[in-house]
């Protein structure tokens, strides 16, 4: 079991980014720090086990994403929504849980249509609660001040009663409350984003299990390994915006999973769920991956490196994304043959 999980984690932490991206050495360092936080175990295994231990049929899981900001990515990027969709599919088909998608106004269409492309109907949360199969709920988290955001987070958790909350590539605030791009600039310079971090503050107070899936360290969950993020990620310790405090997100989660692309970290958890549940098909196949990517772009997402609505994620094209999915299937299916 651990060998299968280590192979999964090794695959999704492989550096393959565009020329200038430094994930070839950043992500292994971040991953090692994250693994140390769970006693050296494979992070995908601990995350998947944590979900299975807590979530039963019809239980709710909140899955969070937000990285849309003006003017560069007004409707978000392709990294994040596909990971959300993969996890939603996995917990729905694998456990019978109800995934609840929570995001801000800029990202909600992309997350919705990407999840539909993964094979789930998506309805407002209260409507979705009445259905039992292949369904996801959605909740819009409005842009508001801190006090109102805290109330919204508390209300969402009261109403949904989630067993687990997962963030995939959700930009989060540093120690001064500023949210940064990977290049160290303030992403709220032109308009404000939803304060989704308050869901994680509330979860911490209530003892709800949380997972943060990240790639550079400016995303929710990075606070769990903030010292490492500040040491290895460019602009994490000293940013390029007036705050001067770096882009490292200070929001902690119980488990943080750094991957070369955040989607891949989510896919790793989906794959490990498939392995542990002996249901490998809950991880999307390569054709579904294509559908998901195409749906995200048609809804407004862009490749976060190219800044264009092309069939890629963080500078890696469709064939690369499908290759990761196919290799994950090979790892878990061959692993199951040996059990």
Phi, then psi, of 224 in degrees rounded to 5: -65, -30
What pLDDT score does 131 carry?
A: 86
Q: Is 131 helix (H, G, I), strand (E, B) or coil?
A: coil
Return the SS3 of 186: strand
| Residue 1: predicted pLDDT | 92
The reported pLDDT for the residue numbered 21 is 52
Residues near 21 by beta carbon (within 8 Å), at least 6 away in sequence: 15, 305, 314, 315
pLDDT tens string for the chain (339 positions)? Answer: 999 999 999 999 997 765 545 556 799 999 999 999 999 999 999 999 999 999 999 999 999 999 999 998 999 999 999 999 999 999 999 999 999 999 999 999 999 999 999 999 999 999 999 887 889 999 999 999 999 999 999 999 999 999 999 999 999 999 999 999 999 999 999 989 999 999 999 999 999 999 999 999 999 999 999 999 999 999 999 999 999 999 999 999 999 999 999 999 999 999 999 999 999 999 999 999 999 999 999 999 999 999 999 999 999 999 999 999 999 999 999 999 976
Q: Where are the domains of the chain?
A: 2-337
Residue-wise burial string across 200-211, b where 16 or more C-beta atoms lie within 10 A, e elsewhere: bbbbeeeebbbb
Q: Give the per-residue pLDDT at 24.
A: 62
Query: What does the pLDDT read at residue 134?
Result: 84
Among residues 232, 89, 274, the alpha carbon closest in space to that of 168 is found at 89
DSSP output for 263-278: HHHHHHHHHHHHHHTT
Candidates 152, 132, 154; CA nearest to 143 is 152
Sign of CA dihedral 321, 326, 329, 331: negative
Distance spanning both ends of the chain, measured CA to CA: 9
Kindly report the CATH number that applies to the domain delimited by 2-337.
3.90.1640.20
* Pairing state between β 98-103 and 135-140: parallel
55 contacts: CB under 8 Å, gap ≥ 6: 61, 91, 95, 97, 163, 164
* Helix and strand totals (H; E) in the chain: 12, 9
CA-CA distance, 48 to 271, in Å (whole number)?
Answer: 9
Confidence at residue 339, expressed as pLDDT on a 0 to 100 scale:
61
Three-state DSSP at 164 gives strand
DSSP class per residue in 53-120: HH--TT-EEEEEEE--BTTTBTT-BSTTHHHHHHHHHHHHHHH--EEEEEE-TTTHHHHHHHHHHTT-
């Amino acid at each position: 079991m651990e060998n299968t999980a280590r192979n999964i984690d090794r695959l999704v932490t492989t550096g393959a980014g565009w020329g200038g991206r430094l994930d070839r050495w950043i992500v292994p360092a971040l991953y090692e720090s994250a693994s140390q936080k769970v006693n050296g175990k494979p992070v995908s295994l601990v995350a998947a086990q944590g979900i299975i231990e807590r979530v039963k049929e019809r239980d709710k899981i909140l899955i969070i994403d937000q990285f849309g900001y003006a003017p560069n990515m007004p409707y978000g990027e392709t990294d994040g929504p596909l990971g959300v969709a993969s996890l939603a599919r996995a917990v729905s088909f694998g456990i019978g849980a109800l995934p609840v998608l929570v995001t801000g106004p800029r990202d909600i269409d992309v997350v919705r249509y990407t999840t539909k492309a993964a094979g789930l109907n998506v309805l407002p949360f209260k409507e979705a609660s009445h259905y039992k199969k292949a369904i996801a709920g959605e909740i819009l988290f409005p842009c508001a001040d801190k006090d109102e955001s805290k109330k919204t987070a508390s209300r969402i958790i009261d109403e949904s009663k989630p067993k687990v909350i997962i963030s995939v590539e959700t930009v989060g605030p540093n120690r001064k409350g500023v949210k940064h791009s990977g290049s160290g600039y303030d992403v709220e310079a032109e308009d404000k984003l939803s304060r989704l971090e308050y869901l994680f503050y509330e979860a911490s107070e209530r003892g709800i299990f949380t997972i943060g899936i990240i790639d550079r360290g400016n995303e929710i969950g990075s606070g769990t390994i903030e010292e490492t993020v500040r040491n290895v990620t460019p602009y994490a310790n000293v940013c390029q915006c007036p705050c001067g405090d770096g882009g490292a997100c200070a929001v902690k989660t119980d488990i943080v999973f750094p991957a070369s692309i955040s989607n891949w970290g989510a896919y790793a958890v989906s794959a490990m769920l498939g392995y542990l549940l002996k249901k490998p098909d809950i991880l999307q196949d390569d054709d579904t991956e294509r559908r998901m990517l195409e749906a995200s772009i048609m809804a407004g997402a862009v490749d976060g490196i190219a800044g264009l609505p092309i069939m890629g994620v963080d500078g890696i094209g469709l064939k690369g994304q499908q290759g990761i999915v196919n290799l994950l299937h090979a790892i878990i299916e061959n692993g199951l043959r040996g059990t």
